[in-house]
Structures are given as C-alpha cells and as structure tokens.
C-alpha cells in the first residue's frame, strides 16, 4: 500500500509541541530564544522554539519508533528505496557509513580517483584500502567526467579481492556515467555498489535527468537533500535499496557510531517538508526549471566567447550524461580565468556562483530558482564579455592521476610526519591531502607518493590563485610527509 506523501509526521509533531508552549525545564539553554535574543530577533521565534532535544512525544533519531520512523518510511518510498536514514551531519556521514558498512579493516574498495574528500576520510575511519579507477577527462573544458563501465570491469579483474564499488552520480559539474551498467558489472562480480549522490537528490523526481542510484539498482546511496532537494544546509539522507549485501539494522548501528546525540529538529523538519514537496510536486517544479535552463543556455551560447555545454555535447564526447541544473559556462575564450570571472560577478554584479576553475564557472540552480536570477546572470556575463581584454591564457592540461599508494590512508593518518618544502617533496610519501576546494578532490592523498608532475601542477594552480586546502601550511609552501 502506498503511503500518503502529503504527510509530514515529524514536522507536525514539532509544530504541535511549539503550539503547546510547554515550560522548558530542559536543554537547550537558550529557552525558546530568551537567552539568545539578538539571534531570535533576526531569525524569528518559531525557529528557536523548534530547537528541541529529546522532547517527550518527539522521536529519537538514533533509535526511531514513532514520527521519525514514519517520516523515514515516507522518504524511502519517495526515493524508491527499502529504507531511509535521516542525516544531520551532511552527506559526509552517509558516505562514511556506506564505506564502514561495506568494508572491514584491510578490505579493498574500488573508488574513482576524482572522489570527494569525505570518501578518503571514510577510508581512514573504516581502515579500507582504495583501488582507484581513473576517470575520463574532457581536455577542452578542463574538467573530469567520470568512470566508465569498461574501466570498472578492468579494475575488478585486476583486484578480485575488492569487496565493494563506490561511484559518484553525478559529479560536482553534473556529469553522470552509465550507472545502470556500472551496477550491473559490479553485481555480476558479487560486489555491492555504493553511490555518492551528494549532487543528485533531485534526479529521482523528473524523467529528464540521469538515472538515480535507487532507479539503477545501487545498494546504497547518500544524497544531499540540502544541495538540490530543498532542505536546509547540513541535512541529507542515506538510502538503502533492497539488497543482498546489507542488513538495515546493521547499517543503523554503523550510522549511530557517528550520529550526534543532539540532532537539530529544525534540520530534520526541513527534510520532512522537502521530501513532501519533491514527492508531490517535484515533476512540475523541476520541469519548469529545465525549461528555464534551456532558455538560459541558449542565451549564454549567443554571447561571443562563452560556451554552456548541453546534454548533447557530453553525449557526443564521452558518452556521458548531464544534469542540466548544473549550469557550466566555459569562459576560456574571453581571455579570463574562471576565478577572475567569479570575482567580477561577485564584486561588480553582486552575483555569487558555486564554483570556479581555470576555465569555467559553475552556477548551481535549484527548486527555488527565479527567472530574474538567471536574467541577472546572463546580463552580467554579456557585460563581462563585452569588456574582456582577450589576453591569451595558456591552458594547463589536466593531469591523469595514477597514484602510487604505499600504505592505506588510515595507516598514513596515524604515522609520524615532518614538513618538507613543496619543491623538494618529489618521491616523498604524502602525510596529508592537497586539494582544490571546491570541489574537494585531492591532487594527492595521504599515503601516496608525491611526484614532480603533481608539484608542477600545484605550482601552476598557485600561480592562478586557486584555493588549495587540506595542508597544514595554508600557502602550500611546505607539505607534511611521512617520516
């Protein structure tokens, strides 16, 4: 029997409690905002009244039996999953739970080399050892695309003791591979498939997107409901499919290892309402958004020096799929870097975008998108293009990461380290991650050998004032290496 997706059990319970106006002789200590009046005056009293902690009549997230359990069941059904678990520490905690559920210490897990740092942190927590699959790269745009089923099959053949596959759907740039085939290849070899779906929550709710993890038959996925599903920042969901590889109660136990004992009901309620909206109106809202974005791409592609790739571009150059809510614009022909365009947009037009790299900018659109936002963006790009100097920018070819892993990330994390000048670090084993953030993909991860190619690449990125993170030295003049 289908559940009523118009219901919001948790949100209704919290609203009832707020209306009760009970005497709050319990934590939190701000007592309905009376102890935080400046903040309350700005955000409103209801938000502070919803800030509850293990209140009678409202469920416990780590062992739900009432309204949270009901709301999680509604979430699972909305996504076509067997079980759903609310996350209040972002998709990071979901990714880590997936890895720890699938891998015991010392087990191998196949992951794409363009993985987010949360995956590498999951390897440290679990003690799993990575087997990397090299993603395809579009050198014209200067972006990483994704892995192919043939590359995955080769990695499985070379590493028969690997116990799981983790993949990304879609990437930060909105690029998705053939997830159906990737799942099929892994399952043929008796391996569960875990999906980092941080940027793909919405894809399940409209036919015009790449296939979602649950639709493709993946065993588990972690989705950032806050990124593209409409809930508040830090709220995500872990989804478990009908799977031969995982037990729902065990996954809950693993998740409880990192759960907070003081979850935010403000965040949890936002997920309850966001799920209702996606399930009941997602097709309508997302269809309208896709129509607007089709128009926006056409307008941008009419501006000399700019290129906003479409689904057809990636189908012809991969083939890969594109989540069109990620509005990627290549600016290289303007003679400006993506970083320079990002700065101009913020400084001169009061427009904030999601990401910039050497050659592109990325605007992420969403359920609440307004045509006036896109009009302002297009107008600003046209103005920037008119005044561009047209200087020549030497393209930095994206390097293929073929890391030499000398020890598992967990071992490297706990080993003694010493600082070495970046220029002199070739041949050393890195004791930290060095990444461009966003998107948070390591150029080198701990336990891997630093090569001269990586050093040269980092130096070029520094020259272009890219934001590098993960190192103890924020200027990346020195790196920590294993003693």
Residue 175 belongs to domain with CATH number: 3.40.640.10
| pLDDT beyond 60 at 375 | yes
Q: Quick check: is 3 in a domain? A: no
User: What local confidence, expressed as pLDDT, does residue 400 receive?
Assistant: 60
Q: What six digits make up the tokens of 353?
A: 């975008």
User: What local confidence, expressed as pLDDT, does residue 441 receive?
Assistant: 74
What pLDDT band is residue 448 in, cutting at 50, 70 and 90? Answer: very high
| pLDDT beyond 60 at 135 | yes
Q: What is the DSSP string of 113-163?
A: TT--HHHHHHHHHHT-EEEEEPPPEETTTTEE----HHHHHHHHHH-TTEE
Residue 371 belongs to domain with CATH number: 3.90.1150.150
Backbone angles phi, psi at 139, to 5 degrees: -70, -25
What pLDDT band is residue 301 in, cutting at 50, 70 and 90? Answer: very high
Q: Are residues 357 and 217 in the same domain?
A: no
Q: Quick check: is 395 in a domain? A: no
Please indicate whether residue 272 or residue 467 has the higher confidence score (pLDDT): 272
Residue 469 belongs to domain with CATH number: 3.90.100.10
Q: Quick check: is 243 in a domain? A: yes
Last residue of a domain, one of 278, 309, 328: 278
What pLDDT band is residue 395 in, cutting at 50, 70 and 90? Answer: low
**Across residues 307-319, what is the average pLDDT?**
89
User: What local confidence, expressed as pLDDT, does residue 438 receive?
Assistant: 66
Q: Quick check: is 397 in a domain? A: no
User: What local confidence, expressed as pLDDT, does residue 140 receive?
Assistant: 86
Number of domains in the chain: 3
Last residue of a domain, one of 219, 247, 278: 278
What is the 8-class DSSP label of residue 54?
Answer: S
42: Cβ–Cβ under 8 A, 6 or more apart, which residues? Answer: none
Preceding peptide of 260 cis, ω within 30°: no
What pLDDT band is residue 53 in, cutting at 50, 70 and 90? Answer: confident
Q: pLDDT of 225-267, one tens digit each?
A: 999 999 999 999 999 999 999 999 999 999 999 888 889 999 9
d(CA 28, CA 51): 7
> Residues 86, 61: contact at Cβ < 8 Å?
yes
What pLDDT band is residue 440 in, cutting at 50, 70 and 90? Answer: low
Q: What SS3 class is residue 175?
A: strand
Q: What is the DSSP string of 154-168?
A: HHHHH-TTEEEEEEE
> Residues 108, 131: contact at Cβ < 8 Å?
yes
Q: pLDDT of 396-415, one tens digit each?
A: 556 566 788 899 999 999 99
Q: Quick check: is 251 in a domain? A: yes
Determine what percent of the chain is predicted with pLDDT higher than 70.
Answer: 96
94-109: b (≥16 Cβ within 10 Å) or e: bbbbbbbbbbeeebbb
User: What local confidence, expressed as pLDDT, does residue 3 receive?
Assistant: 94
Q: Quick check: is 133 in a domain? A: yes
> Residues 293, 325: contact at Cβ < 8 Å?
yes
Q: Quick check: is 418 in a domain? A: yes
Q: What is the DSSP string of 252-276?
A: HHHHHTT--SS--HHHHHHHHHHHH
Q: Are residues 270 and 154 in the same domain?
A: yes
Q: Are residues 206 and 269 in the same domain?
A: yes
Q: What six digits make up the tokens of 2?
A: 């289908």
Q: Are residues 230 and 205 in the same domain?
A: yes
Q: Are residues 35 and 130 in the same domain?
A: yes
161: Cβ–Cβ under 8 A, 6 or more apart, which residues? Answer: 108
User: What local confidence, expressed as pLDDT, does residue 76 receive?
Assistant: 98
Q: What six digits make up the tokens of 296?
A: 């926006």
User: What local confidence, expressed as pLDDT, does residue 228 receive?
Assistant: 95
**Across residues 315-319, what is the average pLDDT?**
80
| pLDDT beyond 90 at 115 | no
Q: Are residues 381 and 344 in the same domain?
A: yes
Please indicate whether residue 182 or residue 62 has the higher confidence score (pLDDT): 182
Q: Are residues 440 and 418 in the same domain?
A: yes
Give Rg (Cα) of the chain: 23
**Across residues 43-69, what is the average pLDDT?**
88
Q: Please give the angle made by the CA atoms of 154, 159 and 165, to the nearest 5 degrees.
A: 75
Last residue of a domain, one of 222, 246, 278: 278
Location of structure tokens 């053949």:
157
User: What local confidence, expressed as pLDDT, does residue 33 receive?
Assistant: 93
Give the predicted TM-score (pTM) of the model. Answer: 0.94
Q: Are residues 236 and 318 in the same domain?
A: no
What pLDDT band is residue 1 in, cutting at 50, 70 and 90? Answer: low
Secondary structure percentages of the chain, helix, strand, coil, to 5? 40, 15, 40
With CA atoms as reference, report the closest residue to 163 among 136, 126, 197. 126
Q: Are residues 98 and 18 in the same domain?
A: yes
Q: Are residues 211 and 349 in the same domain?
A: no
User: What local confidence, expressed as pLDDT, does residue 103 receive?
Assistant: 96
What pLDDT band is residue 392 in, cutting at 50, 70 and 90? Answer: low
Side-chain-facing half-sphere of 65: CA atoms under 13 Å: 4
Q: What is the mean pLDDT of the chain?
A: 92
Side-chain-facing half-sphere of 43: CA atoms under 13 Å: 15
User: What local confidence, expressed as pLDDT, does residue 387 receive?
Assistant: 93
User: What local confidence, expressed as pLDDT, does residue 210 receive?
Assistant: 96
Give residue 15's domain range: 9-278
What pLDDT band is residue 416 in, cutting at 50, 70 and 90? Answer: very high
Q: Are residues 22 and 166 in the same domain?
A: yes
User: What local confidence, expressed as pLDDT, does residue 278 receive?
Assistant: 98
Lowest mean pLDDT among 2-16, 149-163, 435-449: 435-449
Q: Quick check: is 400 in a domain? A: no
Q: What six digits make up the tokens of 56?
A: 């009678």
> Residues 199, 212: contact at Cβ < 8 Å?
no
| pLDDT beyond 90 at 319 | no
């Amino acid at each position: 029997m289908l559940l009523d997706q118009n219901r919001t059990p948790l949100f209704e319970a919290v609203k009832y409690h707020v209306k009760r106006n009970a005497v709050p002789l319990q934590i939190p200590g701000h007592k309905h905002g009376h102890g935080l009046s400046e903040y309350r005056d700005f955000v409103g009293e209801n938000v502070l009244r919803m800030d509850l902690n293990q209140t009678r009549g409202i469920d416990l997230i780590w062992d739900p039996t009432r309204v949270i359990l009901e709301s999680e069941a509604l979430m699972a059904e909305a996504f076509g999953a067997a079980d759903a678990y609310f996350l209040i520490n972002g998709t990071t905690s979901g990714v880590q739970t997936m890895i720890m559920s699938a891998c015991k210490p010392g087990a191998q897990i196949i992951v794409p080399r363009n993985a987010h740092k949360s995956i590498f942190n999951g390897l440290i927590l679990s003690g799993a050892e990575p087997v990397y699959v090299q993603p395809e790269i579009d050198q014209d745009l200067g972006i990483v695309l994704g892995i192919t089923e043939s590359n995955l099959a080769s990695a499985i053949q070379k590493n028969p003791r690997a116990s799981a596959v983790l993949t990304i759907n879609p990437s930060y740039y909105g690029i998705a591979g053939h997830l159906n085939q990737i799942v099929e290849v892994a399952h043929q070899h008796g391996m569960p498939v875990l999906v980092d779906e941080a940027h793909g929550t919405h894809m399940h709710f409209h036919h015009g997107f790449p296939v979602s993890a649950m639709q493709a038959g993946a065993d588990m996925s972690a989705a950032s409901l806050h990124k593209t599903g409409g809930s508040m920042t830090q709220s995500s969901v872990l989804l478990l499919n009908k799977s031969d590889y995982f037990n729902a109660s065990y996954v809950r136990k693993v998740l409880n290892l990192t759960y907070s004992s003081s979850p935010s009901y403000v965040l949890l309620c936002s997920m309850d309402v966001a799920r209702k909206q996606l399930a009941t109106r997602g097709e309508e809202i997302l269809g309208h958004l896709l129509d607007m974005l089709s128009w926006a791409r056409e307008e941008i592609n009419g501006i000399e020096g700019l290129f906003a790739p479409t689904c057809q571009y990636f189908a012809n150059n991969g083939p890969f799929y594109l989540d069109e809510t990620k509005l990627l614009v290549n600016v290289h022909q303007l003679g400006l870097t993506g970083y320079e365009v990002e700065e101009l947009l913020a400084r001169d037009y009061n427009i904030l975008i999601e990401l910039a790299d050497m050659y592109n900018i990325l605007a992420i659109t969403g359920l609440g998108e307004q045509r006036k936002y896109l009009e302002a963006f297009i107008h600003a790009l046209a103005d920037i293009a008119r005044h561009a100097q047209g200087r020549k920018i030497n393209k930095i070819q994206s390097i293929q990461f073929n890391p030499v892993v000398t020890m598992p990330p967990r071992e490297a994390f706990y080993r003694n380290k010493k600082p070495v000048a970046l220029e002199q670090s070739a041949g050393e084993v890195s004791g930290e991650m060095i990444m461009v953030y966003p998107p948070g993909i390591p150029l080198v991860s701990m336990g891997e050998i630093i090569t001269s190619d990586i050093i040269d690449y980092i130096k070029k990125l520094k020259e272009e004032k890219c934001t590098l993170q993960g190192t103890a030295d924020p200027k990346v003049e020195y790196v920590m290496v294993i003693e």
